[in-house]
A and B are shown apart, each in its own frame.
Chain A
Amino acid sequence: MYDAPSLEKTVDQKSTKIAAKDVQVYYGNTHAIKDVNVDLLDKTVTAFIGPSGCGKSTFLRCLNRMNDTIDVCRVEGDILLDGEDIYDKRVDPVQLRAKVGMVFQKPNPFPKSIYDNVAYGPRIHGLARNKAELDEIVEKSLRRGAIWDEVKDRLDAPGTGLSGGQQQRLCIARAVATEPEVLLMDEPCSALDPIATAQVEELIDELREQYSVVIVTHSMQQAARVSQKTAFFHLGNLVEYGDTTQIFTNPVDPRTESYITGRIG
């Protein structure tokens, strides 16, 4: 576990994966996100921190258009994934979400077996041509979700019967099974105990090798431990965005400093 921001986590020669330009989000008449501009890097863990209700989850949900399922929600501005606008009319949100996976705050395994939970994404996207390939994907995903050893003997057991931490790792395995390019995590550890949290954090660090990971968290320590870049949101504004080390040791904005030292929030 990394308890202090480590200096060797350099993020220099990484390319931009997602670029947001002047993003505005409205819930009905409420202006929830104001003028957010941010470049999220490839193969990097980016943490969104900020007090409750500051818009970090809302912004996260814009990145794979999950907000489309909310009627009153309206998004303006451009969000580019690999240079393409994801809010373009020609983009199918279903295709987008296959590329930008999501893990939710509360573990939400489907009421199916562990195997079927992981096989769900590959099946609907036709990633496997036969049972053997599907088996392989399931095993690989469960291994990557660091849960294979615990469930390999009971793949037919219902996913809802696992413990909270196991369920969350199952959900992560389920998300990586569709081979996304970006993984969005909305407070993935808030319902977990410290041991399960440690396991998930370790997992996030490993996932960085292949994916761009964006994590929303309320725990400053967690942000410091797992991320290389940190964005601080406050009242719908992106206040500061930079290297995690810099944000936590030498914040530019006084609001950031107040928040990480526990004076606002």
Chain B
Amino acid sequence: MSAGILSLIVIGLGVLGYFLGRGRALSLATATGRKLHSLPGYYGQSVALFTAVPALLLMAAWLFLQPVLIDSRVNAMIPDSVIPEGGARSLVMADVRRIADGLDAMMADGGISENELDQMRADITNIRSRLANVGVALGSDVPVAVFDAAKEMRQSSKTGALAMTIAVLVLTLGAGGWTLMRINTDLRARNISENFVKALLIGASLVAILTTVGIVSSLLFETINFFKIYPAKDFFFSTVWNPQFRGGSDLGILPLLWGTFYVSLVALLVAVPVGLMIAIYLAEYASKHVRSVAKPAIEVLAGIPTIVYGLFALITVGPFLRDYIAEPLGLGSSSSSVLTAGLVMGIMLIPFVSSLSDDIINAVPQSMRDGSYGLGATQSETIKQVVLPAALPGVVGAVLLAASRAIGETMIVVMGAGAAAKLGLNPFEAMTTVTVKIVSQLTGDTEFASPETLVAFALGLTLFVFTLGLNILALYIVRKYREQYE
């Protein structure tokens, strides 16, 4: 029985449990002549929840664990002798899996029966050609051990699936039946079902937290692997980034961090003043009509995919800066430059800053403005000295949000600033950022266990630490000013 059908059955039983629980509660109330503790629906709900949820959780856990356990068992069956020279155990395991799938397919075609399969021997039957008939192409003839492992894997999967079906159904009926039996007029069904839902809500938030933990730990383990084969001192303090496919690379993060910082700085220098001025205009000066047109128009910028911004940088801004500014001034002849990427990224960030700041400025109470006008302040003085300081925590938050976007941006940098890791001050030179290098190191053709690939994880973790620090800083600033202003 497949997992899909099984879960449908479980859910169906849950729905049935609802009506049974509700009916039983009502009939008990009539029979005993006592008032129910909760509304009848709550009795139904508690039965339904106890029927379906534990069984579904068990099923999810089983589906997750079963392949892991079977893999490790089958893995032990494969002797080192069948692993080809220079190959990896994981490749053989992949073959095993494909053969097992192929056998299933043969079975489904009706070309072979369970008994015949038991008697099939890799050294007698031509497994390779028979598997090719059902669409599983193998590179070489199948060794006996591998075929036996595949048969074993197929067998264990079948047994496992059957065991799971039985276990899930038993749990469904057991838990559902137990709750149904428990029902009496004094059972606090409302509290039970509410607590159950509360636990579900906690579980949902745990998913988000655990995902973060998972991401961080996966980064962390690969980073530790990286530092085992590459000295941390060289990574953090070397000023040269020069990965080689044959090993002996220089993998210093400093040029990449500098590039990230430089491009983000240019982007923020564009986005923050323009965005803030837009926000002030929209919130304080613009008429209702202008605002209703201009605000959505600016927010359109936020909806443009970054790759389109990248194209804009590549074919318009880059050549323009090179032809009209860099070359006449003798500052460089590259169309990809820090300034190109920074300018275009700044444009991308404008709506982030303007839209958030606009909302925050609007949230400053009118009484503040009245107080200032009442003292004979002009509109401009009021904005500069009363409205903006009051809105500052929120504005800082908006700017830092924009900053983390800028640090994490990849596409615009690839197309606007190039991929050359350099330490330099000239904004018309090509430079690159951490994110770009993560992509290029992971999509390269190098072995996964080499420092050239693993460095991507160290880069990712460093970036994560930086943005985390930025967020903590933002929280700190916002909280500090909140205390003062509220």
Which A residues are closer than 8 A to B by beta carbons?
A: 64, 66, 69, 94-99, 101-104, 106, 108-112, 120-121, 124-125, 158, 160, 171, 174-175, 178
Q: Is B209 an interface residue (CB 8 A)?
A: no
CA distance A218 to B373 in the complex (A): 24
Known contacts: A112-B389, A124-B381, A158-B484. The answer to whether A98 contacts B375 by CB under 8 A is: yes
Q: Is B369 an interface residue (CB 8 A)?
A: yes
State which of A101, A111, A125 has its C-beta within 8 Å of the C-beta of B374: A101
Chain B residues numbered 364-386 whose CB sits less than 8 Å from any CB in chain A:
365, 367-378, 381, 385-386
Tell me whether A120 and B375 are in contact (CB under 8 A): yes
- Residues of B with C-beta under 8 A to A64: 374
State which of A95, A108, A124, A174 has its C-beta within 8 Å of the C-beta of B367: A108
- Residues of B with C-beta under 8 A to A174: 371, 375
- Residues of B with C-beta under 8 A to A103: 374
CA distance A4 to B257 in the complex (A): 77
Tell me whether A66 and B375 are in contact (CB under 8 A): no
CA distance A108 to B365 in the complex (A): 9
CA distance A160 to B390 in the complex (A): 12
- Residues of A with C-beta under 8 A to B377: 94, 97, 120-121, 124
CA distance A125 to B371 in the complex (A): 15
Tell me whether B376 and A178 are in contact (CB under 8 A): yes
Q: Is B116 an interface residue (CB 8 A)?
A: no
- Residues of A with C-beta under 8 A to B374: 64, 66, 97, 101-104, 175
CB distance from B156 to the nearest CB of A (A): 68
- Residues of B with C-beta under 8 A to A104: 367, 370-371, 374
- Residues of B with C-beta under 8 A to A96: 376
Q: Is B485 an interface residue (CB 8 A)?
A: yes
CB distance from A36 to the nearest CB of B (A): 21
Known contacts: A95-B376, A124-B375, A124-B377. The answer to whether A110 contacts B370 by CB under 8 A is: no
Q: How many A-B residue pairs have CB under 8 A?
A: 79
List the A residue with the shortest CB-CB distance to B371: A108
List the B residue with the shortest CB-CB distance to A98: B376
CA distance A236 to B385 in the complex (A): 36
Tell me whether A69 and B376 are in contact (CB under 8 A): no
Tell me whether A111 and B373 are in contact (CB under 8 A): no
CA distance A102 to B406 in the complex (A): 46
- Residues of B with C-beta under 8 A to A108: 365, 367-368, 370-371
- Residues of A with C-beta under 8 A to B390: 110-111
Q: Is B486 an interface residue (CB 8 A)?
A: yes
CA distance A219 to B461 in the complex (A): 66
CA distance A140 to B486 in the complex (A): 27
List the B residue with the shortest CB-CB distance to A110: B386
CA distance A232 to B368 in the complex (A): 29
CB distance from B362 to the nearest CB of A (A): 15
CA distance A101 to B135 in the complex (A): 89
Q: Mark B348-376, 1 if CB is under 8 A from A, else 0.
A: 00000000000000000101111111111
List the A residue with the shortest CB-CB distance to B374: A102
CA distance A66 to B372 in the complex (A): 11
- Residues of A with C-beta under 8 A to B369: 69
Known contacts: A110-B386, A158-B484. The answer to whether A66 contacts B376 by CB under 8 A is: no
CB distance from A72 to the nearest CB of B (A): 11
CA distance A92 to B375 in the complex (A): 13
CA distance A74 to B266 in the complex (A): 47
List the A residue with the shortest CB-CB distance to B390: A111
Q: Mark B267-287, 1 if CB is under 8 A from A, else 0.
A: 000000000000000000000
State which of A66, A112, A175 has its C-beta within 8 Å of the C-beta of B373: A66
State which of B367, B370, B375 has its C-beta within 8 Å of the C-beta of A101: B375
Tell me whether A97 and B373 are in contact (CB under 8 A): yes
Known contacts: A69-B369, A104-B367, A124-B381. The answer to whether A111 contacts B375 by CB under 8 A is: no
Tell me whether B389 and A111 are in contact (CB under 8 A): yes
With A66-B373, A102-B374 known, 10 other A-B pairs at CB within 8 A are A69-B373, A94-B376, A96-B376, A103-B374, A109-B371, A110-B372, A110-B389, A112-B389, A120-B386, A121-B375
